[in-house]
Amino acid sequence: MTHRVLTVAGLKGGTAKTSTATNLAAWWSAAGRRVLLIDADPNGSATKLHARGDGVLLADGSAVAPIQQAPMAMAKPWDLVVVDTAGGSRDEQRTYAEGSNYVLAPCQPAASSIEQVVDLAEILKATGVPFGVVLTMCDGRRKIDATKTRQVLERVGLPVLQSQITLLSAWPKAEAAGVAVRDARTDSDRPDGGAVTAWQQVADLAAEIETKLQP
């Protein structure tokens, strides 16, 4: 069975890998695709998020599986496989990249995040698998930071996607509830004001990645 596999990668912790992977999977599954979300993080963050929300993250026909179950799970005819990786090991990142059609590397507008993406890009380039950097957690009050980060990454020759994800409280709220960012709610249980913007950004990112994932 051949699937289109998207891996969300990173050498550093806390760069929004799980947030990005789970919400892309949620978006594609809501759009009627059969999505397998593979949780390759031993901490099981994506699996726990999915369980926390009683599975509402993914529509019927999609599923989440820990990496140990990937060989069996991948025997089914998924439209798309999304892999959430654990930050840290270069060898692991290389291995996951090699099994992918496209690798997405989230990057925050911060020096340490830029440095890890530049390091990761060396590994990815060696695999020959296409990849792109998505700027995430971009502070809307400091747009210059994202602009400069984009310039730095492009200057060293890295492909940076046009889509960008803004720093919004809807993200941790959705994570805590185990739902897609579209369904984030405030502490007083009202729809979070940033949820629509965040979900639109997920949609834009998904559409841009699809152009790269074409067989």
Among residues 63, 64, 67, 58, which one has the least CA distance to residue 29? 58
Q: Is 14 in the site for ligand ATP (CB under 6 A)?
A: yes
- Measure the CA–CA gap between 105 and 133, rounded to whole angstroms: 5
Q: Bridge partners of 40?
A: 85
- Considering only the stretches 11-19, 72-80, 96-104, 148-156, report the one whose residues sit in contact with Mg ion under the rule CB under 5 A: 11-19
Q: How far is CA 204 from CA 76, 82, 134, 199, 201, in A?
A: 27, 17, 11, 9, 5
Element housing 108 (H / E)? none
Answer for which of 59, 165, 184, 209 binds ligand ATP (CB under 6 A) is 165
Could you give the string, one character per residue 13-42, with x where binding to Mg ion holds by CB under 5 A and - elsewhere?
Answer: ----xx------------------------
Q: Least distance (Å) from Mg ion to the CB of residue 17?
A: 5
Q: Least distance (Å) from Mg ion to the CB of residue 147?
A: 27
Binding site for ligand ATP (CB under 6 A): 10, 13-19, 41, 45, 86-87, 136-137, 165, 167-168, 171-172, 175
